[in-house]
Amino acid sequence: MKNILITGGKGQLASCIKDRENHIKNYNFLYVDYDELDITSEKEVVTFFEINDIAYCINCAAYTAVDKAESEIDLATRVNELGVSNLVKSCKSSNAVFIQISTDFVFEGSQSIPYTEEDNTNPIGIYGLTKLKGEKAALSLEKHFILRTSWLYSEHGNNFMKTMIRLGKEKDQLNVVCDQIGTPTYAGDLADFILKLIIGKSSKAFGLYHYSNEGVASWYDFAKAIFQESNTSIKVLPINTEAYPTPAKRPSFSVMDKIKIKEVFKIEIPYWRDSLRKCLGK
């Protein structure tokens, strides 16, 4: 029985993995959150790996408060860079496979065609910068997968979909940004892929990959779809980013190219709106 460590164990991606783990035989899943394993403590990480004989580490732990990161630089750096570095060191000592979850925010969003894994990164905020530094830490390990994803949502945790559904019950009208373009990604689909990655025939095709659902949308498009699919009656108005200032800048275009991951792992990726329906139980 091989042990799989999942950090960020109470988050939405870890929760989606937990929903699906019963289908995976011969593996033992260990979910930990920061109160059980502080990944910024090298001593704690080393001890945990030694006691539990880890074969795989899926790092779902991250500092993801994009706006707060602009003022909490040290904390974001400790979690997104130092934490990854500590996990990588223990994976190397244990000969474990490391799976790092990263983000579209490593790109500045200035181009108009989907970003490939070979495109230059240039984050425009602290969150994206610290996640990129985490990627670089993961690259030092031979047995690594880095999975960049975007606009994650699910039935679990706090996310845009759940916020829209809550606001749809409280308000008659809502303004949503329409000039930031990306791809909503159902965390359940990403969880399915991660499990396939571990047990599949291409489980040694280590490297950097992009995974998001298929298609393109603005936050306005996403909100409209959420309300339509959940039969919520609310007026949604499109606004520009300038009308909704935030401490952190967001990429205006962060659609990711997924040709590499589809060819290497022979997978089909669901269209974002189909996955939204699935998440909503439609």
Using CA atoms, how far residue 107 sits from 54, 80, 218, in Å, is: 32, 16, 17
The rounded distance, in Å, linking the Cα atoms of 26 and 2 is 7
Assess whether 127 carries a catalytic annotation: yes
Active-site choice (31, 56, 115, 127): 127
The rounded distance, in Å, linking the Cα atoms of 119 and 124 is 15
Q: Please give the full DSSP string across 101-140, using - where no structure is assigned.
A: EEEGGGS----SSPBPTTSPP--SSHHHHHHHHHHHHHHT
The rounded distance, in Å, linking the Cα atoms of 92 and 75 is 25
Helix, strand, coil % in the chain, rounded to nearest 5: 40, 20, 40
The rounded distance, in Å, linking the Cα atoms of 13 and 61 is 10
HSE at residue 163, side-chain half, CA atoms within 13 A, is: 10
Angle at 72 between CA 68 and CA 73, to 5 degrees: 120
The rounded distance, in Å, linking the Cα atoms of 205 and 143 is 9
Take residue 218 and report the two structure tokens written for it: 């603005």
Query: Which stretches within 2-119 are classed as H helix?
Result: 12-20, 42-52, 73-77, 83-94
Catalytic residue set: 127
